[in-house]
Amino acid sequence: MKEVKIGIISDTHGVLREQVLENLRECDYIFHAGDIGSKEIVDKLNEISKLIIVRGNNDKESWADKIKENEVIEIEGFKIYMVHNKKDIPKEDSSIDMFIYGHSHSFSTDIKEGAIYFNPGSCGKKRFSLPLTMAIAHLKNKKIRIEKIEIMA
């Protein structure tokens, strides 16, 4: 079975670093969990791979009007739910294999009741002393493996 790679980013806030682009070029999909920052970032990511995005609390301009606040995506037998803020994740949905969210700018991965709860952190503007991060999810043989990538500022 072929491995599917999903580049997962969030909170770019108008900044798309070359190191992030390099990592995304090897991916079959790009998921952006909101606070994109500009239409130019959407256009650039669309040039690289199939793009799935959700709107963040800072995506308020007209270019973001048609972006949904959440998405449910099925890939390789996995059901993935993406939203910007963790508090907006549905409380009960046992059909979801992975929840992706952003907002806090802090990389986090947890497993609850068999589902992965994942925040790739921020790879845009530096916030406080938090590191810049993104991830690649490797989907193969009915398993999800998350590879954390630290971005040099």
Range of the structural domain that residue 46 is part of: 4-151
pLDDT of residue 12: 97
The average pLDDT across 66-93 equals 94
SS3 labels along 4-34: EEEEEECCCCCCCCHHHHHHHCCCCEEEECC
Question: Does position 103 have pLDDT exceeding 90, yes or no?
Answer: yes
pLDDT band at 46 (very low <50, low <70, confident <90, very high): very high
The average pLDDT across 12-31 equals 97
pLDDT band at 30 (very low <50, low <70, confident <90, very high): very high
List pLDDT tens digits, range 48-60: 999 999 999 999 9
Tell me what percent of the residues of the chain surpass a pLDDT of 90.
87
pLDDT of residue 126: 85
Secondary structure (3-state) at 137: strand
- Report the CATH number that the domain containing residue 146 is assigned in CATH: 3.60.21.10
Tell me the C-alpha distance between 10 and 88, whole Å. Answer: 16
Q: Which residues of 50-74 are buried (b: 16+ CB within 10 A; e: fewer)?
A: ebbbbbbebbeeeebeebeebbeee
What is the Rg, in whole angstroms, of the alpha carbon atoms belonging to the chain? 14
Tell me what percent of the residues of the chain surpass a pLDDT of 70.
99
Contact 98, 114 (CB under 8 A): no
pLDDT of residue 93: 79
Tell me the C-alpha distance between 133 and 17, whole Å. Answer: 11
Question: Does position 127 have pLDDT exceeding 90, yes or no?
Answer: no
Tokens of 63: 């270019």
- Counting the structural domains of the chain, the total is 1
